[in-house]
Structure 1
Amino acid sequence: MDDDTNLDRLHDIELPPEVAAWPLALGWWVLIVAILALASYIGYTLWKRWQANAYRREALRDLESAEDVAAICEILRRCALAFTPRNTIAAMTGDNWVNWLYERSPEETPSDIRRLLVSGPYIAQPPTGSEEMLRDYTAHWIEHHQICDSNSS
């Protein structure tokens, strides 16, 4: 046999070494920093929102244990005091108070509720069923009210 056709002289193909995964390229570092910054911002925003709504959670807990119309009206007023200056809320009575609540509510205040909010705390024996109706309205208002400019009344 001829030496030119000898298969013993053939060698395997040599592959280059594998590309290392570490250290990362600059683009990966930029992406990691951007993702961490975005995650931190979202986490901080959610935490601030949760903290800002603590008064709502507390008012809803108090509402569960309220025993009469006067107690429900008091919870509603304390909830309003959480985001409005005391001198603004304390000066409101009667229709002014109900109108202030209505301005921050996503829905219209029913006339029965308006009467309960104006005179309910002072009635010795409110009408039957009015307590549950006021409790439902108050819970809805606490969950859905909008915080407006504190200077408007």
Structure 2
Amino acid sequence: MSTAASNDDIVMLPDLIDQLSEAPVPPAIPWIPQTWGWSLLAVVIVALLALWGIRRYLRWRADAYRRAALIELDQRLDDEGAIALAEILRRTALSAYPRERVAGLTGQRWWRFLDASLGDRRTPHFDGPLGQELSTAPYRATPTDGTNPPSAELVALSRRWIRHHRRDIPQESAS
């Protein structure tokens, strides 16, 4: 053999590349995490969302009397005026609190109960001129059209009480 390489012994680069094997395709990345911690986190999040949804639904159902009172107030206020306002406030309170706690309240005790259950220290309050208007309006002489419209301030306070009264006031603060 000669020291010089023959043409048959020379391998060209394209020939070497053709001899390479194909690179393996990596496996597809799974959508589901492989560790149990992510699965546990997903279960906890789903459970918390379900609990939150159930609580919202139960609260929505428990507040049905509030929505009904506001709808009735809108329907009856123009026709019946202060009489409807006083009646709707009383029936809403009877829906939210035990009958023996609310039914016998009149005058200043009734106004203080409304203020205590509202839990809002902003003015105006029922215990004052607005409470007097609420108590006396159904008995005042009515205008010619038969209605006795309450003041806008009393209507706004009554709507706020219907929407936001608390059901957990202490017994002694309401008397």
Deviation at 1:4, TM superposition (A): 5.5
Question: How many residues are matched?
Answer: 153
Deviation at 1:33, TM superposition (A): 1.1
The more displaced of 10-19 and 134-143 is 10-19
Specify which of 47, 71, 77 is matched with residue 84 of structure 2: 71
Specify which of 127, 130, 133 is matched with residue 113 of structure 1: 130
Match status 1:149 vs 2:169: yes
Extract unaligned runs of 5+ from structure 2: 1-6
Q: CA RMSD in A?
A: 2.7
User: SS where residue 130 of structure 1 aligns?
Assistant: coil
Query: Partner letter of residue 133 of structure 2?
Result: L
Deviation at 1:35, TM superposition (A): 2.0
Describe how 1:1-153 pairs up with structure 2 within 5 A: 1=7, 2-3=9-10, 7-10=14-17, 11-12=20-21, 14-21=23-30, 24-25=33-34, 26-66=36-76, 67-105=80-118, 106=120, 107-108=122-123, 109=125, 111-125=128-142, 130-149=150-169, 151-152=171-172, 153=174
Deviation at 1:91, TM superposition (A): 1.1
Extract unaligned runs of 5+ from structure 1: none
Query: Partner letter of residue 50 of structure 1?
Result: W
Query: Partner letter of residue 26 of structure 2?
Result: P
Between the aligned partners of 1:18 and 1:81, the Cα distance in structure 2 is 67
Deviation at 1:100, TM superposition (A): 0.6
Show CA shifts across 1:16-47 (max 9, x none). 53145166422332232122112101111211
The more displaced of 113-122 and 1-10 is 1-10
- Same amino acid, percent of matched pairs: 32
Deviation at 1:122, TM superposition (A): 2.5
Do the aligned residues in 1 keep the contact of 2:116 with 2:169 (CA within 8 Å)? no
Between the aligned partners of 2:150 and 2:85, the Cα distance in structure 1 is 11
Between the aligned partners of 1:59 and 1:9, the Cα distance in structure 2 is 88
Deviation at 1:12, TM superposition (A): 4.5
Change (3 A) 1:36 1:13: same
Query: Partner letter of residue 55 of structure 1?
Result: Y
